[in-house]
Structure 1
């Protein structure tokens, strides 16, 4: 099972894992803004974009194993790994199961805790509706309005339109599979507490899906972490405020590249 990935630039590898229910297309501004300094690798996670879904049971760990295989396929020994939202869950699983691959980790708009019973029920209900209807209308109705913040809705109509298009392009089977995978994931705080590499935690100040409290809890659990709150941004901070996001990631990755040599 080989993931489709875009691979641009040269230098220290930077692997960016996309949010649900998008694809690596969400990282356009990161490929454009960071490939001058880093080797930017943006895979489509299983079932999304150009990657096939396969027959495995829904699992975040399976998604992380896919990413580890991609490292080997591309000849990448270690990388700065960044994940936003669902991509953050995959990044934390990679830290747990393949720690030797991770030079540093960027966790954006994500959370270390497992779903509450209520949140799990919502995910399973959405997965069932998607499977029943054969469309992702459930996500357009329930999730899309919360993916970006009110500032983006008011001032960045093009950004919202692009996010909407990415959500609408999601294959229904992949969306249902990923919801089940996220619902089944474990708490990651033990992984965070034992992390041996530096971490950068980011959150938008208008994020209603994974807010500042979750980000702060993760930063507090990590032995070596900085926390950055991105202003005028909702859940998709990398898409809503790409310049601020890119600047923070570039500084973090450049510092790691220096300590490596």
Structure 2
């Protein structure tokens, strides 16, 4: 059995953001793409932490019969991937960090997340995050691919408010996991869009250095959602990482 690939999505989206990447990965490899942190109705009484989300991912990998996986996380998914690496290190055979970072939120960013979470809960709608479509997609995509703008906007509109609020609180509470990444000895690839205005190329370069000089793939004419904006490029980076993991195994 080849080592599976686990794809962890960004905020405020779900597993569908990986669909075009999955279509270009080898059909001979199992791909798991869970919704984070799970069904909205399952969040009652669950403390909003990325640790809880990571534990659920670990359960899903083990339930699929796998002892290890290549883990790829985009944005919030990257935060969960690093939490998984810290809490379940034996599960992570390779790591792809896509348009993400290892550091914690600055105080102003943390406060903004908590404010958005409160507004989503109070309104019972995702209006507070609907405008993120203009932030997460690059300028080239917004200009040249209006169909992708409409697709991402529809995905955002379909998110359960309870899951949106939970995820914002979980991200606000996350610690700095730079040292967790530094200690990881397995294969890593870092991917970023050259028009990413959320994390950006500088943060991606820092991640690559922290990971011992890991390969850095800069996706041209793409913003924060490289897996949606250029799925072929992201799929190629993940396939190369998986091949390195297979060779090491």
Please state which band the TM-score falls in when normalised by the shorter chain: over 0.9
- What is the root-mean-square deviation in Å for CA atoms of aligned residues? 1.4
Decide which of 157, 172, 189 is 1:168's aligned counterpart.
Answer: 157
- 1:247 aligned residue: 236
* Structure 1 residue 222 displacement after superposition: 1.1
- 1:153 aligned residue: 142
- 1:38 aligned residue: 29
1:196/1:54 CA distance change after superposition, 3 Å: farther
> Which range moved further: 209-218 or 179-188?
209-218
TM-score (norm 2): 0.96
- 1:27 aligned residue: 18
- 1:70 aligned residue: 60
* Structure 1 residue 138 displacement after superposition: 0.6
1:22/1:239 CA distance change after superposition, 3 Å: same
User: Secondary structure of 1:186's match?
Assistant: coil
TM-score (norm 1): 0.92
What whole-Å deviation, never above 9, does each CA across 1:210-248 have from its counterpart, x for those lacking one?
A: 111111111111125111111100000011001111111
User: Secondary structure of 1:105's match?
Assistant: strand
* Structure 1 residue 47 displacement after superposition: 4.1
User: Secondary structure of 1:34's match?
Assistant: coil
1:1-261 alignment, distance < 5 Å: 11-47=2-38, 52-141=42-131, 143-223=132-212, 225-260=214-249
* Structure 1 residue 48 displacement after superposition: 5.2
* Structure 1 residue 131 displacement after superposition: 0.9
User: Secondary structure of 1:235's match?
Assistant: coil
What whole-Å deviation, never above 9, does each CA across 1:52-102 have from its counterpart, x for those lacking one?
A: 334211000110000111112111110100000000000001111101001
CA distance in 2, matches of 1:242, 1:120: 30
Relative contact order, CA 8 A, sep 6+: which one is greater?
A: 2
- 5+ residue gaps, structure 2: none
* Structure 1 residue 157 displacement after superposition: 1.1
